[in-house]
Amino acid sequence: MRETMREKVSVNLIFDSKTGQVMPKHVGWQSRLHTITQVGLHHTYRSGRALIHVFAVTDGWMFFRLELNTETLHWLLTEVSDGHPD
Amino acid sequence: MGIPTNLLGAVGINHNPSAIMHIDLNSCFATIEQQSNPLLRGKRVAVAAYTTPNGCILAPSVEAKTLGIKCGMRVREGKHLCPDLIILPPDPGKYRFVNRKLLQLLRTYCPEVEIKSIDEMNLDFTHIPPLERELHHIAQEIKAAIRREIGEWMTVSIGIAPNRFLAKLAANLHKPDGLDEINAANLRTVLATMGLADLFGIKHRNEARLFRAGIYTPLDMLDASPQRLMAAFESIAGYYWHLRLRGWEIDDVDFGRKSIGHSYALKNQRVGTRELCRLLCKLTEKVGLRMRRLGYTARGVHLSFFYADKGHWNRRVMSPTPLFASKDIYQRVAQLYARAPKAKGLRSLAVSCYALIKEPLLQTSFLEDEQKKRSLTLALDTIAERWGDFAIAPALMMGMEDTILDRIAFGTVKDLDELIWQDETTHEPVFD
């Protein structure tokens, strides 16, 4: 089941200075803290002047599409999915 | 006039070492979705233009293809073959991003990289010294680099040959994740395993032409004289096929950009005049914005309608002066629309600009009104850069945010300059 939305969420982002890797570590959504285990793809797009970083991540059970607006530094959850057909 | 056909003699098979590498991203859109969402990996996934039952499947995953799900099928048909098929809408921004990353990566291996489509690229090693181009070794490195730098789920099929046509054919021999070479040594063996329709560019009509000339297989075609092939195709195309199949380069031609257009498939065939005007207005705004971003003005405007009964209507108009403002283009579109037959059920519509002139709007005009219009158009485009496309749009377009979404065209990509434009307007990523 796949659902799209535009919901503000709390995200914990980790930067590893040794590997140069950046990874969202926790997502707070619907009163639950999800621990991210894998980043599938990280890409960027522009909405007007604002550069948006998109992190496609999973906690092993659920998929989250997280968008970081680099103008406001706010996070939006734009998609969740359990990887099963609708 | 051209060269008299009797002077076009037969040539032998090209024995030069292979210098072209064709890279094909396997099941491109679906694989990128599986890379993005690890929960979809190994599952039957298809990206469709629309997720509704009538939506057209654009890219089935490798797993879905094994069940016979193909590009061009309806979602309904796909679900019939595979009830647990996961249907996803396209995400063009993501696919362009991967295409750009792939382009950047390939340019570290070869300076001459051609984008053939969103999922196909050619590397031309002709001008690289032979000792430095052990192409099989480079191909293996490229495969590993793609998995390392773009994503572990991403696979490509690579074909190596003396020309572009055979390299593409080689890339198609084993999918996914193949690596094959077609050269003078194995050309006959490879062609012997194929039918005429397996050759890119030979479909039903060309196949019928060849059958009429007594040519039934690719090997027959290879052995046919240029005159016999020219007689079969009734044109110089026969001679080009003679060269192409023998490994000589005939397809390194860049035809450049001839037009810029957008089309839209209607959900409801009985759409009213006002709704149709709104759709045409949005298509025109998209065409105008894209044209100006690429630094063009245009003199020609073209409007096409495709009807439910498979009929087609199109008209074009030439303007005495170059057009750049979307409002002026829409005025021509509306004039053309007034002449279109209205009674029939519509399937899709397309607006395009042709007779393009490379002329950035920054260039000043002697005419005062023209200069004012240029300044206003530039100001509107600047607002679009800052706040997003259609931040200011004609009132006719109100409430159309979710209609005529961004899409990627199939076939040859003429948008390399567009990708570069997007690169130039994209700052260095803060993260990575």
Percentages helix, strand, coil for chain B, rounded to the nearest 5? 40, 20, 40
Share of chain B above pLDDT 70, in %: 87
Q: Is B387 an interface residue toward A (CB < 8 Å)?
A: yes
Bridge partners of B22, per DSSP, are B122, B159
For the record, the structure tokens of B399 come out as: 């409430």
Q: What is the pLDDT of residues B92-118, one digit of tens each?
A: 889 989 999 999 999 999 999 998 888
Cβ of A43 within 8 Å of Cβ of B94? The answer is yes
Residues of B in contact with A85 (CB under 8 A): 83-87
Cβ of A63 within 8 Å of Cβ of B429? The answer is no
Cβ of A43 within 8 Å of Cβ of B98? The answer is yes
> Residues B60, B71: contact at Cβ < 8 Å?
yes
Strands annotated E in B182-280: 259-265
Contacts of residue B104, Cβ cutoff 8 Å, sequence gap at least 6: none
Q: Nearest by CB to B426, which of A46, A56, A62?
A: A46
Mean pLDDT value across chain B: 86
Residue B7: band (very low, low, confident or very high) from pLDDT cuts 50, 70, 90: low
Q: Is A86 an interface residue toward B (CB < 8 Å)?
A: yes
Q: Is A26 an interface residue toward B (CB < 8 Å)?
A: no
- Please name the residues between 38 and 57 in chain A that touch chain B, using a CB distance below 8 Å: 38, 40-49, 51, 53-54, 56
Q: Nearest by CB to B425, which of A40, A42, A46?
A: A46
Cβ of B36 within 8 Å of Cβ of A47? The answer is no
Q: Nearest by CB to B37, which of A15, A20, A56?
A: A56
Percentages helix, strand, coil for chain A, rounded to the nearest 5? 0, 70, 30
- What is the set of active-site residues of B? 120
Q: Is A70 an interface residue toward B (CB < 8 Å)?
A: yes
Tokens 């890379």 sit at which residue? B35
Q: Is A71 an interface residue toward B (CB < 8 Å)?
A: no
Q: Is A78 an interface residue toward B (CB < 8 Å)?
A: no
Residue B342: band (very low, low, confident or very high) from pLDDT cuts 50, 70, 90: confident
Q: CA A52, CA A76: separation in Å to the nearest integer? A: 10
With CA atoms as reference, the chain B residue closest to A41 would be: B36
Q: What is the nearest CA distance from B109 to chain A, expressed in angstroms?
A: 23
> Residues B241, B247: contact at Cβ < 8 Å?
no
Q: Is A14 an interface residue toward B (CB < 8 Å)?
A: no
**Burial status of residue A3 (CB atoms within 10 A of its CB: 0-12, 13-18, 19 or more):** exposed
> Residues B246, B12: contact at Cβ < 8 Å?
yes
> Residues B361, B294: contact at Cβ < 8 Å?
no
With CA atoms as reference, the chain B residue closest to A63 would be: B37
Q: What is the pLDDT of residues B344-356, one digit of tens each?
A: 788 889 999 999 9
Cβ of B86 within 8 Å of Cβ of A85? The answer is yes
CB pairs under 8 A between A and B: 77
Q: What is the pLDDT of residues B256-290, one digit of tens each?
A: 778 899 888 887 777 788 888 999 999 999 999 99
DSSP string covering B28-89: HHHHHHHHH-GGGTTS-EEEESSSSTTPBEEEE-HHHHTTT--TT-BHHHHHHH-TTPEEE-
Q: What is the pLDDT of residue B335?
A: 93
ipTM above 0.90, yes or no: yes
Q: What is the pLDDT of residue A15?
A: 94
**Burial status of residue B4 (CB atoms within 10 A of its CB: 0-12, 13-18, 19 or more):** exposed
Global pTM? 0.79
Contacts of residue B108, Cβ cutoff 8 Å, sequence gap at least 6: none
Cβ of B386 within 8 Å of Cβ of A48? The answer is yes
CA dihedral sign, ordered B333, B334, B338, B340: positive
> Residues B30, B64: contact at Cβ < 8 Å?
yes
Q: CA B345, CA B309: separation in Å to the nearest integer? A: 8
Cβ of B427 within 8 Å of Cβ of A51? The answer is yes
Q: Nearest by CB to A81, which of B37, B386, B431?
A: B37
Q: What is the pLDDT of residues B387-399, one digit of tens each?
A: 888 888 888 887 7
Q: What is the pLDDT of residues B413-428, one digit of tens each?
A: 455 444 444 443 333 3
Q: CA B375, CA B377: separation in Å to the nearest integer? A: 6
Question: What are the start-end ranges of the H helices in B246-311?
Answer: 273-293
Q: Is B84 an interface residue toward A (CB < 8 Å)?
A: yes
Q: What is the nearest CA distance from B51 to chain A, expressed in angstroms?
A: 10
Q: Nearest by CB to A38, which of B38, B86, B427?
A: B38
Residue B343: band (very low, low, confident or very high) from pLDDT cuts 50, 70, 90: low
Residue B407: band (very low, low, confident or very high) from pLDDT cuts 50, 70, 90: low
Share of chain B above pLDDT 90, in %: 60
Q: Which residues of chain A have pLDDT under 50?
A: none
Q: Nearest by CB to B387, which of A48, A51, A84?
A: A48
Q: CA B288, CA B340: separation in Å to the nearest integer? A: 22
Contacts of residue A1, Cβ cutoff 8 Å, sequence gap at least 6: A81, A82, A84, A85, A86
Give the pairing of strands A74-81 and A50-58. unpaired
